[in-house]
Amino acid sequence: MADSTVHADSPPGAGFAAGMAAAAAAALVAAAARDAEDWAEARGAAAQAGALRERLTRLAHLDAEAYVGARAALAAPTRDAALGAALARAAELPLALAAAASDVADLAALVSLHAAGSAQADAAAASALAAGAARAAAHLVSVNLGMAPNDERARRAAELAGSAAGAADRALAAGA
């Protein structure tokens, strides 16, 4: 996975990195849920974490493509509707990343309540990783909407990041 995040001639951007970090967190959650053998919802939680990992990986790659498009539009000699469209797409994808990362943080917090030992620690750490990814993605939404700071998408992204941070706090406290 790390090899897919580094390209010397054209790095994919922070949205890609946030998405892949959240995908890695989702993989940790799936493993922790599978280890919570006494929990009736363990299989469902593992399946949900797997689906989130796949969604985040797909979103990360789409975000990398949008990043390239936005950079090209910003570098163009004229600024027209294409720039606005590119920046709007560059805001929508990090918003979707923030939402999925927040879901991972919430699921990880739940799993951390039912897992034990190293699986509980992994779930708590995954929640913190996902919260960081949600916060990074929310920041990108705000940056990409710089000309429209009161945009509903920026507010929603910040809300998702806050929710993820709360989930991480709960997960980390569960293991303390």
HSE, side-chain direction, 13 A CA sphere, residue 133: 35
User: Tokens in use for 53?
Assistant: 């990992």
Tokens 């709360």, residue located = 166
Domain 2-174: top CATH class: mainly alpha
Q: d(Cα 155, Cα 124) in Å, to the nearest integer?
A: 26
Residues 138-163: what's their mean pLDDT?
A: 87
- 95-116: per-residue pLDDT in tens? 999 999 999 999 999 999 999 8
Find the range with the poorest average confidence among 30-39, 142-151, 166-175.
Answer: 142-151
pLDDT of 88 reads: 76
